Homo-oligomer: A and B are copies of this chain.
């Protein structure tokens, strides 16, 4: 497996489970730990590809299979030369399987061992996702990293239901994996497929799931079913539990996390990859992450504030505009607000990841963790 998807570990923390590495994809090298901005509908809301590559030096983006499957559809994207070409993004792309959105967005019809029948949230049309069909859709997109179809139960859920869903997810992972290996052998392009550890907030189910998925000897492993409303200590505990069973040599991806102050915590628990809509969604809602804490830009205190949003940040937003101007754009509902705010928030996430990586590589991660744990979250 690893021949087609080399992952090189460069350094490991002497105290925590943190590690720094390099992921070699067909669309460039990704330095880990990495945060992947979310490009739901083949665009990161508010940012152009040249800003993602130029201003932010993003190496890998996430796109959502559910959304792209419904609109514009895998056939169209394949006809357009794949997602990279369609959205003019020459670097790596990871796509989820669509499972999460099927369970959270759509009018769900029926789950069976074969797959899931659901209704589009756009127009109510009925569609079916199977482990094979979601691999096929992601291959049509030309994704560098594909995810297996999984069932992501809501929180809280009974142990009994969580077990059923987890077992179904393992079954789907086996089917998807076999199908993917067969398809991969036929393709000239290079792709990886990650199964997803589920099990809700039950440590025994997480362990059982991880143990079964490890047998697949997959290219990497995702930990899913997080950020569904559970208390944060529980998410971290579930990651710890699953991670202990995952192969050291393969990348681990914690799906849908997290807040800026949580990123170092996941990394300390052996996570190499993360994604989250928070930096972009919160930006649009007026919640801006800075090195000094969170700025809620609509507050009257920023009305005449000539200072940059984050004086330590080197992004276009912070080097050219004042808090007062950003507040004005936000209050006036201007498009430029979303663009400048998203640019900054994503930059903040990437800056944190660069600090984390630097601390691991230089052997100072435990000290870094101490410092960030005592930093204020809200601006005083």
A: residues with CB less than 8 A from B are 41-43, 45-50, 67, 71-72, 76, 79-81, 86-88, 303-304, 306, 316, 320-322, 324-325, 328-329, 331-332, 334-336, 338-340
Contacts and interface: CB of A to CB of B under 8 A. Distances in A.
Contacts of A306: 80-81
B303 A76 contact: yes
A48 B336 contact: yes
Given A41-B332, A332-B71, A324 B48 contact: no
A214 to B, nearest CB: 38
Among A41, A320, A336, max chain B CB count under 10 A is at A336
Contact of A325 (B46, B67, B80): B80
Contacts of A72: 303, 324, 328, 331
A291 B72 CA distance: 27
Among A45, A303, A338, A339, max chain B CB count under 10 A is at A339
Contact of A86 (B45, B79, B316, B325): B325
Contact of A328 (B71, B321, B331): B71
A329 to B, nearest CB: 6
A45 B328 CA distance: 13
Given A80-B304, A335-B335, 11 more contacts: A41-B328, A42-B325, A43-B335, A45-B335, A47-B336, A71-B331, A72-B303, A72-B331, A80-B306, A81-B306, A335-B338
Nearest to A50: B316
20 contacts: A41-B328, A42-B325, A43-B336, A46-B335, A48-B340, A49-B320, A71-B328, A71-B331, A72-B324, A72-B328, A76-B303, A80-B304, A80-B324, A80-B325, A87-B325, A88-B320, A88-B325, A335-B338, A335-B339, A339-B339
Contacts of A71: 328, 331-332
A46 to B, nearest CB: 5
A322 B86 contact: yes
A79 B328 CA distance: 14
A37 B369 CA distance: 49
Contacts of A329: 41-43
